[in-house]
Structure 1
Amino acid sequence: MNSQQDPVETKPPAEQSSYQQKHKPASEFNSRTEYLEHELEIMELKRWKLNLPFRDFRIEVEDWVPAFAATIGKIVMVTAMVAAFASQFNLSPEFIVENVRYELLIAGVLFVVLFSALINPLTNLAGTHGPMIPLIPLIAAAGGHPLALGIMVGIFGLLLSASKGGSKLVTLTGEGVRGGLLIYLGAMGLVGQIKKFDQWSVSIDQEPVFFVVIFATIVIYAYLAKIQKRWLAIPLCSAMAGIIAYAMGTPFSFVTEPGLPNMSPFYWWGENTGWQMGWPELHHYIAVIPFAILAVAMWSPDFLGHRVFQELNYPRKAHKVLMNVDDTMAVCSVRQIIGAGLGGGNLASSWGTYMIPAAIAKRPIPGGAVLTGLVCVLASVIGYPMDLAMWEPVLRVALLVGVFLPLLEAGMQMVRSAQNSQSAGICMFSCALVNPVFGWALAMLLDNLGLTGDKERAESLSWTDKLTIPLITFIICVGSLALVGQLPGFPALKQQT
């Protein structure tokens, strides 16, 4: 009888994975949190080997939260990026919709499930490089080509990954610098999203919607934090925002009909179809080199923030499920080259709207990755969910509670001592002077030299870790920023040559 009720029991222990042997049903634990933390502690996810659901990990109800959050974030960010390209190259709104659809299929089918769920679940999903969006007009003005840019970003990313540079930079970034970076990113993101939502409500002559939705979001988020259910913030607050806005008379309609985009790279890179630019030539690759270097330089602080989120929310024994920074860089690089080659307009980076809610929900990468791939594909094919995700009340609230407020909270948790607060303050000051890339590089250099922060930590470092690597990183970041005109008061060096 027992073998019929539980066929797993009949397997010899040698045929079961370590995870299967150690797994216990949720009913044996005093709380759901205990069960989820136990799952994180017993998993031994494998790098670059096949990982299977129920053999190496499970898919839980909590995994739906990062899946929905990631899909909303993906639609929002890719739309913003493709729209920025489209405005520079005089492409139609229909092009934007079709390319975003195409990117959802590329991400969902080729990379989210294949890499982050099955082949290497220690890699975060390859999302969208948001900080590069403001630079797209400069890329176009410099004579850049989207495909050339994507390929060069991928090549530089693979070089950084192969040299283990990403993980080394994460190790050399002290807690104070990490905290300052997260606080700055969180605070600036909060202010930016609230400002955009307010401007939108004014533009449609529905100003009360802004206050009522944000007020309700604050109350709900505070209650979820009190009952330790913050992982529900994105679906609950986004649904609330949409319901309140619609009830107050805010206009909304479904316009994107079901369908599939053109999947031929020759269509997208034709001279009269798709991007209407043809295939890139040598001068296109030369034009985008400084922007590609800058894009990859921005990866380290981005990836660092996402791994820190896991470290803060996972139990200490869960080190075997933490995101591998170098592997994530490798996957983002490969995704960038293949995605751009197929015709997509996305620039890849670590997927924040997936990792942050997944970490808060105490879930590893692979379970939610399977569901994210499924939801992305469904959203692309059905079409209508894209309209809902891009509706201002929904997308602004999703980004507020799913990305920027958790970033702010995590940064504040890391700044507990006077030494860390000093490093954090310098980091935020430097970020405000230029941008987060400059701020992180300068603060890391000063912190490792012992000029700020923990002096004992600085004394324990070798001169390579204390000066050589941080100084080279700072020079590369500043040089890249100078080339593309991102240093305040200085014209772009590339335009002078």
Structure 2
Amino acid sequence: MSEQNAKNSYLAQRKPRSEFATREEYLEHELQVMAPRRWRPNLPFRDYNFEWEDWVPAMAATIGKVVMVAAIVAAFATPLGLSKEFITENVRFELVIAAVLFVILISGFLNPRANLAGTHGPLIAMIPLIVAAGGHPMALGIMIGVLGFILGITKGGSLLTKLTSNGVAGGLLLYLGFIGVTSQVERLFTWAEGFGHGYVAFVVLLLTIVMYAWLEHISKRWLAVPLGCLLAGVVAFALGAPFEFTTEPGFPIVDPTYWWGEDTGWQLGLPDFQAFLAVAPFAVLAVAMWSPDFLGHQVFQRLNYPKNSERVIMNIDDTMIGASARQVVGTALGGANIASSWGTYMVPAAIAKRPIPGGAIFTGILCLVTALLGFPMDLAVWPPVLSVALIVGVFLPLLEAGMQMTRKGKTTESAAVVIFASSMVNPVFGWSLTVLLDNLGLIGCKERGKELGHTGRWIIPGIVFGVLCVIMLAIGMFPGIEPMVEAFRVE
């Protein structure tokens, strides 16, 4: 099929639900006949349709967005002595900016192959170090956006993913999935034990396991997020878990002079040159983390979508460009969110066999409603709802995808090494080291490395690994080794 015919094929080839034996066949056919237009208007009902399954990733994405943005804003704001009310208002602001300017505009209309610009969760643990080094949230956000845009337009992101074998990608998914599940289980038990009812967490998790197994049995796993959240919330409340709505309705402040004022908002003023120097290593590391993160989301689509649906698979470089634009604009207007590919959207969307645009518009609507009403934010961050949504909507599916990718060939060697190396330092270290070893032919499939040439075998992987190691040494990310640069020492 020619490119022009492909772009006009959707209305001509789509069929009504009544012509298919099952709904799954209908949804798969929708994926196969869609032909998104890149960086040009994509209109509902002409280029794609809405289905009620689109609400599933939208719900999961909204819950994840509230939680992750709140965590990042709090990580910046708490050391600066800013109030809880400030954190709530900045999260509200970020929800509106993300929904209107980027989720709906880019992923819903301009480029449905660019995944939604979400939040960079792995960087949250480093924010106290960034603040201690004199880092400014505006300087960090702008530098991440500029570096990410450069990587996207030069197609560096897709190049790095091509050099990542199934074994490395599968091992990375297994590691992220396992770490995510265990952390959420621990968090839920800690919460329940905090008010003296540890059994609440046990009951909620046990019922979640049974529910997930039942949904797998009836091939309705994509319902895990809404049913899991409902189940967790009702059971926890019925067993005596405390909950109350505290956030009032309101409209966020969208004045950048307020957020970046000397005595208002962040109370930091505009960043100077030293502030940009302080955040430079973290910005480089953040963008380097994008490739394995984006790859995991793309792989998950490939594992769940049917054959001949390449045209709706997320484009890694376009996603980087969209995330970079969201990063720069959101930061300049006053937000502290650190952007990345939106995993709590993409994973449930892939399970539900839905393309990006329809659910993106629903996500934007839910984010707007949540921000304006306020009180849904309280429900989204309530531990039983939050933890169950992340477990069944993101981390368990990641584990399953990782297992699928490591079943064939000599993938287990690479998977084991990337898990080992990631647990030793972090996922970006594990990914970069294992890609180098795998492409050299020391582990995994020996024939694969011979097909990559010198550039793909060791030059690019070696440079990437070397640069990342220097950065991580400089800021003290290697266990037992003090930061090499004095500015990053925390007293």
Tell me the TM-score range normalised by the shorter chain: over 0.9
Which amino acid in structure 1 is aligned with residue 294 of structure 2? Answer: F
Q: In the TM superposition, what is the alpha-carbon distance from 1:496 to its structure 2 partner?
A: 6.3
Q: In the TM superposition, what is the alpha-carbon distance from 1:494 to its structure 2 partner?
A: 2.2
Write out aligned runs for 1:79-478 (5 A): 79-417=70-408, 419-478=410-469
Alignment match of 1:76 (pick from 67, 73, 79):
67
- Deviation by residue 1:381-432 (Cα, 9 ceiling, x = unmatched): 0111101001010001001111111111100011113510011001101101
Q: In the TM superposition, what is the alpha-carbon distance from 1:458 to its structure 2 partner?
A: 1.2
Alignment match of 2:41 (pick from 50, 58, 82):
50
Distance 2:271 2:452 in 1: 45
Distance 1:48 1:474 in 2: 33
2:22 match: 31
Distance 1:106 1:272 in 2: 23
Structure 2: state its 5+ residue gaps: none
Contact 2:149 2:320 in 1 (8 A): yes
Distance 1:476 1:241 in 2: 44
1:487 match: 478
Distance 1:115 1:161 in 2: 15
Q: In the TM superposition, what is the alpha-carbon distance from 1:242 to its structure 2 partner?
A: 0.2
Distance 1:407 1:275 in 2: 36
Distance 2:262 2:195 in 1: 38
1:20 match: 11
Distance 1:236 1:48 in 2: 35
Distance 2:252 2:364 in 1: 17
Q: In the TM superposition, what is the alpha-carbon distance from 1:18 to its structure 2 partner?
A: 1.7
SS of 1:50's partner is coil
Q: In the TM superposition, what is the alpha-carbon distance from 1:36 to its structure 2 partner?
A: 0.4
Q: In the TM superposition, what is the alpha-carbon distance from 1:436 to its structure 2 partner?
A: 0.3
- Deviation by residue 1:109-163 (Cα, 9 ceiling, x = unmatched): 0000000010011000000000010000100011000000000001111111122
Per mean C-alpha deviation after superposition, the further-off stretch among 416-425 and 69-78 is: 416-425
Is the alpha carbon distance of 1:496 and 1:382 closer, same or farther for their aligned partners in structure 2, counting shifts above 3 Å?
A: closer
Distance 1:407 1:475 in 2: 28
1:10 match: none
Structure 1: state its 5+ residue gaps: 1-13
Deviating above 2 A after TM superposition, structure 1's stretches of 4 or more consecutive aligned residues are none
1:8 match: none
Per mean C-alpha deviation after superposition, the further-off stretch among 225-234 and 410-419 is: 410-419
Which amino acid in structure 2 is aligned with residue 112 of structure 1? Answer: V
Distance 1:484 1:187 in 2: 27
Per mean C-alpha deviation after superposition, the further-off stretch among 267-276 and 16-25 is: 16-25
Contact 2:133 2:487 in 1 (8 A): no
- TM-score, with normalisation over the residues of structure 1? 0.96
How many residues align structurally?
483
Contact 2:98 2:364 in 1 (8 A): yes
SS of 1:298's partner is helix
Q: In the TM superposition, what is the alpha-carbon distance from 1:17 to its structure 2 partner?
A: 3.4
Contact 1:17 1:55 in 2 (8 A): no
Which amino acid in structure 1 is aligned with residue 172 of structure 2? Answer: L
Per mean C-alpha deviation after superposition, the further-off stretch among 482-491 and 320-329 is: 482-491
Among all aligned residue pairs of Structure 1 and Structure 2, give the percentage whose two residues are the same amino acid.
58
SS of 1:88's partner is coil
- Deviation by residue 1:48-72 (Cα, 9 ceiling, x = unmatched): 1100001000110000000010000
- Deviation by residue 1:230-263 (Cα, 9 ceiling, x = unmatched): 1100110111000000001111111111111111
Q: In the TM superposition, what is the alpha-carbon distance from 1:455 to its structure 2 partner?
A: 0.8
Distance 1:415 1:339 in 2: 38
Which amino acid in structure 2 is aligned with residue 415 of structure 1? Answer: T
Distance 1:18 1:384 in 2: 43
Q: In the TM superposition, what is the alpha-carbon distance from 1:316 to its structure 2 partner?
A: 1.7
Distance 1:355 1:96 in 2: 26
Distance 1:496 1:49 in 2: 45
- Deviation by residue 1:325-383 (Cα, 9 ceiling, x = unmatched): 00100111111010000101100000000000000000000010010000000000011
Distance 1:17 1:161 in 2: 27
Which amino acid in structure 2 is aligned with residue 21 of structure 1? Answer: A
Distance 1:300 1:174 in 2: 13
Contact 2:163 2:435 in 1 (8 A): yes
